[in-house]
Amino acid sequence: MHGFAYKNGSLFCENVDLQTLAETHGTPLYVYSANTILDHFRRLDQALAGIDHEVAYAVKANSNLSVLRLLAKENAGFDIVSGGELYRVIKAGGDPAHCTFAGVGKTRAEIEYALQQGIYSFNVESEAELRYIDQVAGDLGVVAPVAVRVNPNVDAKTHKYISTGKSENKFGVDFGFIEEVYDRASKELKNVKLRGLQMHIGSQLTSVDPFVEAVKKVAPLATSLKEKHGIEFWSIGGGIGIVYRESLESGAQDWWDKKADAERPLTIEEYGASIMPLIKDLGLNILLEPGRYIVGNAGVLLTHCLYEKKGTAKTFKIVDAGMNDLIRPALYEGHHEIVPLKEPNAERLKVDVVGPICESGDFFCQDRELPDFQPGETVALMSAGAYGFVMASNYNTRPLPAEILVDGSTATVVRKRQTLDDLLVGEL
């Protein structure tokens, strides 16, 4: 479900006409629906109601301060992967005591900063890192709360670039070694407190089965670590997938209701119902680290069609957004629905929608049947709220797009479009 739909022939975000936003603020333009973000957060929170739990939003999916502020007001936790993200969370009013710090390559400066701010836990990805955190905490005269990330070696059945829970991935400590790591740490490391256990098997999982498999496999380990080392939390990670292929249609409850059970994409209710029985009696605080699920379908990227080029083999629609604005198609063959802001008729044409960047990988679709749109018209790339703006770059010396947050009938610019002067800041 999300807040994007046609009303009287025009695409709206909540009660705001996207065409008006494009005309007022220019394109490319990211637009987010505040109430979609809140709805997703609350539903996930609700799915675990009745047990000790925390939904720790994965900041890297969309780290705009206003998005973080929305979630901080809901008392969300935050899963961060850098000192920069911790800085953002604090600026947005988030509580460091509800932050977990993930990532395979934390630096000394980042570890010190996180210790000074009093985060809830470092989610540690190797024994070497664990020993380093112990040393830094010792130097500062504090105790570092830690959890080790277990790599459960289950197949998340997602794109290879976003699969993280197999032994060949760089993430976490092998399932077979993990208890020894806790045992050695408890004997040898005096400046860490073994506070929890963490896992995260991958992103954009569209079936509940790999989650269930991983939770079943790791639950006995969590119990054993609780008995032996007194751990208090288990983070079962993020990775809940969203609808990309029928993104616009999936905004309506109707679309979900009409699907047969076997065809319905993973819902949060199904996720909760499948996972809850496996975790509810462990006596552990259960953390979730969703990123994409919270913000993915809550955002679109608006782009203006500049030209049409008809070749012998193909028709190209050339738009003013490029892979520097939204890299998912180029990076992981990500699919984004492309819909005109003016509600189209049923006619479809096979086209490539491409950006202005000097790379052949700079396309948003190839040979896709789309409703026709012409130069001068604006289209929306759907499901662009997660891993969209945060991965944007200045490649080809292009300013970063502006970001708008819509709440009901109010649209607020939550990040200004970069100017050409912004692009030169700090250069000689």
Ligand X SMILES: *Cc1c(COP(=O)(O)O)cnc(C)c1O
**Positions marked active-site:** 358
Pairing of strands 315-319, 99-101: unpaired
Cβ of residue 201: shortest distance to ligand X, in angstroms?
A: 10
Q: Judge whether 131 is annotated as a binding position.
A: no
Q: Judge whether 238 is annotated as a binding position.
A: no
C-beta closer to ligand X: residue 79 or 85: 79
Cβ of residue 149: shortest distance to ligand X, in angstroms?
A: 7
The half-sphere exposure of 131 on its side-chain side, counting CA atoms within 13 A, is 7
Pairing of strands 378-381, 299-310: antiparallel
Cβ of residue 402: shortest distance to ligand X, in angstroms?
A: 23
Cβ of residue 77: shortest distance to ligand X, in angstroms?
A: 12
C-beta closer to ligand X: residue 226 or 292: 292
Closest CA to 337 of 390, 294, 296, 392: 296
Strands (E) in 223-266, as ranges, are 233-235
Distance CA 215, CA 271 (A): 12
C-beta closer to ligand X: residue 61 or 330: 61
Q: Spell out the alpha helix ranges (H) of 48-105.
A: 65-73, 83-91
Helix (H) / strand (E) element for 375: namely none
Q: Judge whether 387 is annotated as a binding position.
A: yes
Cβ of residue 180: shortest distance to ligand X, in angstroms?
A: 22
Q: Judge whether 348 is annotated as a binding position.
A: no
Distance CA 213, CA 203 (A): 15
C-beta closer to ligand X: residue 61 or 319: 61
Contact at 8 Å (CB) between 313 and 352? no
Say how many C-beta atoms besides its own lie within 10 A of residue 168's C-beta.
8
Q: Would you call 143 exposed, middle or buried from its count of C-beta atoms within 10 A (0-12, 13-18, 19+)? A: middle
Per CB under 6 A, residues contacting ligand X are: 58, 60-61, 79, 102, 200, 203, 237-240, 289-293, 386
C-beta closer to ligand X: residue 239 or 329: 239
Q: Judge whether 332 is annotated as a binding position.
A: yes
Beta pairing partners, 306:
none
Q: Judge whether 85 is annotated as a binding position.
A: no
Secondary structure letter of residue 240 according to DSSP: B
Question: What six digits make up the tokens of 311?
Answer: 């070749």
Residues of each annotated binding site for pyridoxal 5'-phosphate: 239, 289-292, 387
